[in-house]
Amino acid sequence: MRILLYRGDGVIEPWVRDFSDALPHADIVVWHENMSLASQSPCDYAVVWAPTPRLLDQLAHVKAILLMGAGVDALLKFGDALPPVPIVRLGDAGMAEQMAEYVAYATLRYFRRFDDYEQQARQGIWNPLETRRRKADFTVGVLGLGRLGMPVLRTMRQLGFPVRGWSRSERDLPGVACYAGMASLDDFLSGTQVLVCMLPLTPETTNLLDRARLSQLPQGAYLINVARGAQVAEPDLMALIRSGHIAGATLDVFRNEPLPAPHPFWNEPRITITPHISALTLRAEAVHQIAAKIGKLERGETIDDIVDRTLGY
């Protein structure tokens, strides 16, 4: 069995070592941009992250493409150029807990007004502030109720915040006010004080959070984006923050990454920037999961996390 490995960030050697340990009988082939496999035996599987167009030429004979992360947009953007084989995203692999921690921290930071205390500290101001509002009035709304969104809802509910969730299809979750479909999105937003975006990036979700949608949030609401930067119309968000309609935003993802140095977000104190670290891929867990899926595929067994190309996730 031959397995092609590729990572767009070039950090490949630790993955080679771990896959060699997990699949000792496999031939691990590391692909690079100027390499052709035409004269070699075909690879059975491709395990990739952030692929390039040239890589697609090497995938014509693979049985499946397995991703080293939960996001699939970097691969699906190639559309019909992809071979007609299963695309398998990474399941949880330790990312759900990280995501819940990130959202809990950002929410508590706003609820306890630590963002204001940070600004005061920079100015040398000692001034205890009144509590912003009761926890019962600080509703957390999660856009996207998938494998990562559900643990976030559970964590925020355990912390005592009212929670609501929105998805494209109907859901019935204990303790969660559920909304479904585009017709209910404005109602969902209008009662959300902390909006958490966890949607997959698809044509339907690109620029979903524009001025019109974000204006449906209550005055003084907050945005936490841990999904994809292209889902937020960045100039619209900046305008709403400067107007005071949105009190602050914690952003882990951006339309262009790394975020360019001249970008106005860097100089807006009400925007907190992190470098796409809300849920990092844990290599040991990811390798274990991917190796197990390859084993099941070789035995003709069914696996989870196969991407629906028509839905985009």
Q: Enumerate domains of the chain plus CATH numbers.
A: 2-93+281-298 (3.40.50.720), 95-273 (3.40.50.720)
Chain centroid to CA 177? 22
Cα distance between residue 269 and residue 231, in whole Å: 22
Please report where in the chains the tokens 């957390």 appear, as a residue.
140
Q: Roughly how many angstroms between the first and final C-alpha of the chain, as a whole number?
A: 28
Pair type for strands 140-143 and 87-88: unpaired
Mean pLDDT by 10 residues, the chain (313 residues): 96 97 97 81 95 90 96 95 96 96 99 97 97 91 96 98 97 96 98 98 97 98 98 99 99 98 98 98 97 98 97 94
**What is the pLDDT, as a whole number, of residue 37?**
78
Query: Would residue 228 show up in a list of annotated catalytic residues for this protein?
Result: yes
Please, which residues bridge with residue 4 across strands?
Answer: 29, 46
Among 213, 276, 283, 288, the active-site one is 276
**What is the pLDDT, as a whole number, of residue 194?**
99
pTM, 2 dp = 0.95
Query: Would residue 263 show up in a list of annotated catalytic residues for this protein?
Result: no
**What is the pLDDT, as a whole number, of residue 27?**
97
Decide: helix, strand or coil at residue 109: helix
Cα distance between residue 107 and residue 140, in whole Å: 8
